[in-house]
A and B are shown apart, each in its own frame.
Chain A
């Protein structure tokens, strides 16, 4: 069967060759046109059917799905970005609040500490000045005592001298008057 077909094909080919050798393009051999057009219609039709019913819907669906997915992802990314920006704003706001609060606390504390320092200093100064007053008073007292003792010693001495000179004990009033007179001179 196949052998017969091959032989027939050979004969047809030689016949075609003979026809061509008379000149002209093989393209202009109209006897081949029906076969070319028929098989073109069959193969082109099949390709069209496969493309339109199988290949193109699949490719289109894949592309469409990817486009949707990318659009979704972009939307989600935009949403995330918006949320991130909001979070950043909230963070900045709370940071500013905390800073203000910290400054307020620091100011208060500083004032308190200053006040405490001032009161402590005042106490210390008060204590010191009262001690100084007391000391001054004691110094004055001691000086007066010392002066009185000097006067007493001078009176005793004067009395002893006068007794030795005139064997007479002078009156206290006279001695003191004389001492006062000498001290003033």
Chain B
């Protein structure tokens, strides 16, 4: 590619098509975002493929890690929804792994000569789609399991009748804001972390360019980058977990709509 080095902190988020593609008049080009989605998928397949190859009674290292993830998400689902929530376990597990890998892969520095690192979850289109998917499952399963009594979710018991319209309105607004909060939380965390990393990296370049004493000062933003990178690794795990557990909590409403 003939592109210049990333100029501003926002350029890392730009999406540019690698293979233009249209489907029924809609632009579904294979972009750098698409590339990193496939890299995440490939990484997931490679990791879990190797981890579950032997299925040993005494697990090896990779199998142990895979089992830790399995038990971790299974406990989360069981704790938030209960045993009947285990039918959503594959979905929550996929959600967690997909977001975790997207977040973590985006933290790798770009290796010169290879495509620029891209964080697919730093885009609102992706996070909003995942949030809407979770909420759609909640709504569809809620009505499928409870019928119209799923709407009791918006009518809390023990509220005075004259207050009910207001409370129901609040409940409905809070329900509708769930996919938005899911989407914005993940998107904003990824966006902010990467902007900070880029800004600090920009400081280093500027200070080194200034030379002399400034070149020595460049050590501070460099240490800052190391610290923020560690923080971002934590955030990558945390946001994947938050997305997964919030999905579980919302699914709990659909499974136990009658118990409000």
Distance in angstroms between the alpha carbons of A12 and B2 in the assembled complex: 13
In the complex, residue of chain B having the shortest beta-carbon distance to the beta carbon of A62: B55
Distance in angstroms between the alpha carbons of A20 and B91 in the assembled complex: 35
Distance in angstroms between the alpha carbons of A33 and B183 in the assembled complex: 14
With a cutoff of 8 Å between Cβ atoms, the chain A residues found around residue B15 in the complex are 16, 26, 29, 32, 35-36
Distance in angstroms between the alpha carbons of A51 and B100 in the assembled complex: 15
Indicate whether B171 reaches chain A with its CB closer than 8 angstroms.
no
With a cutoff of 8 Å between Cβ atoms, the chain A residues found around residue B90 in the complex are 48, 51-52, 56
**Do A36 and B20 touch across chains, with their CB atoms under 8 A apart?**
no
**Do A35 and B59 touch across chains, with their CB atoms under 8 A apart?**
no
Could you give, for residues 62-94 of chain A, a 1 whenever the CB lies within 8 Å of some chain B CB and a 0 otherwise? Answer: 110110010000000000000000000000000
**Do B126 and A36 touch across chains, with their CB atoms under 8 A apart?**
yes
Distance in angstroms between the alpha carbons of A119 and B240 in the assembled complex: 101
Q: Which of the 9-residue segments B28-36, B154-162, B208-216 touches chain A?
A: B28-36
Give which listed residue, B20, B33, B123, contacts A12 with CB less than 8 A.
B20
Could you give, for residues 89-120 of chain B, a 1 whenever the CB lies within 8 Å of some chain A CB and a 0 otherwise? Answer: 11101100110000000000000000000001
With a cutoff of 8 Å between Cβ atoms, the chain B residues found around residue A17 in the complex are 14, 16
With a cutoff of 8 Å between Cβ atoms, the chain B residues found around residue A69 in the complex are 57
**Do A66 and B57 touch across chains, with their CB atoms under 8 A apart?**
yes
With a cutoff of 8 Å between Cβ atoms, the chain B residues found around residue A52 in the complex are 90-91, 94
Give which listed residue, A25, A35, A63, contacts B31 with CB less than 8 A.
A35
**Do B94 and A39 touch across chains, with their CB atoms under 8 A apart?**
no
Could you give, for residues 13-42 of chain A, a 1 whenever the CB lies within 8 Å of some chain B CB and a 0 otherwise? Answer: 100110010000111110111111111111
User: Given A16-B16, A32-B31, A36-B34, 12 other A-B contacts at CB below 8 A?
Assistant: A9-B19, A17-B14, A27-B124, A35-B28, A40-B125, A44-B94, A47-B44, A51-B94, A59-B52, A59-B66, A62-B63, A63-B67
With a cutoff of 8 Å between Cβ atoms, the chain B residues found around residue A62 in the complex are 52, 55-57, 59, 63, 67
How close is A42's CB to chain B, nearest CB, in angstroms? Answer: 8
With a cutoff of 8 Å between Cβ atoms, the chain A residues found around residue B93 in the complex are 51, 56
How close is A93's CB to chain B, nearest CB, in angstroms? Answer: 41
A-B contacts, 19 listed (Cβ < 8 Å): A13-B3, A16-B16, A26-B14, A35-B21, A35-B29, A36-B126, A39-B34, A40-B37, A41-B129, A43-B37, A43-B40, A44-B98, A50-B48, A58-B55, A59-B51, A59-B52, A62-B59, A65-B57, A69-B57
**Do A12 and B17 touch across chains, with their CB atoms under 8 A apart?**
yes
Indicate whether A10 reaches chain B with its CB closer than 8 angstroms.
yes
With a cutoff of 8 Å between Cβ atoms, the chain B residues found around residue A48 in the complex are 90-91, 94
**Do B57 and A43 touch across chains, with their CB atoms under 8 A apart?**
no
Distance in angstroms between the alpha carbons of A46 and B240 in the assembled complex: 19
**Do B33 and A9 touch across chains, with their CB atoms under 8 A apart?**
no
A82-138, CB < 8 A from B: none
- A37-B27 CB under 8 A given contacts A13-B17, A27-B13, A61-B55: no
- A9-B94 CB under 8 A given contacts A32-B125, A38-B23: no
Indicate whether B45 reaches chain A with its CB closer than 8 angstroms.
yes
Distance in angstroms between the alpha carbons of A35 and B11 in the assembled complex: 19
Give which listed residue, B10, B19, B57, contacts A5 with CB less than 8 A.
B19
Indicate whether B80 reaches chain A with its CB closer than 8 angstroms.
no
How close is B198's CB to chain A, nearest CB, in angstroms? Answer: 13
Give which listed residue, A34, A50, A54, contacts B28 with CB less than 8 A.
A34
Indicate whether A178 reaches chain B with its CB closer than 8 angstroms.
no
Please provide the 7 A-B residue pairs with the shortest distance between their CB atoms, ordered closest to farther.
Answer: A13-B16, A52-B90, A58-B52, A39-B34, A43-B37, A36-B125, A26-B13
With a cutoff of 8 Å between Cβ atoms, the chain B residues found around residue A147 in the complex are none
Distance in angstroms between the alpha carbons of A20 and B3 in the assembled complex: 15
With a cutoff of 8 Å between Cβ atoms, the chain A residues found around residue B243 in the complex are none
Distance in angstroms between the alpha carbons of A44 and B91 in the assembled complex: 10
With a cutoff of 8 Å between Cβ atoms, the chain B residues found around residue A33 in the complex are 125
Distance in angstroms between the alpha carbons of A51 and B122 in the assembled complex: 24
**Do A47 and B70 touch across chains, with their CB atoms under 8 A apart?**
no
Distance in angstroms between the alpha carbons of A79 and B18 in the assembled complex: 66
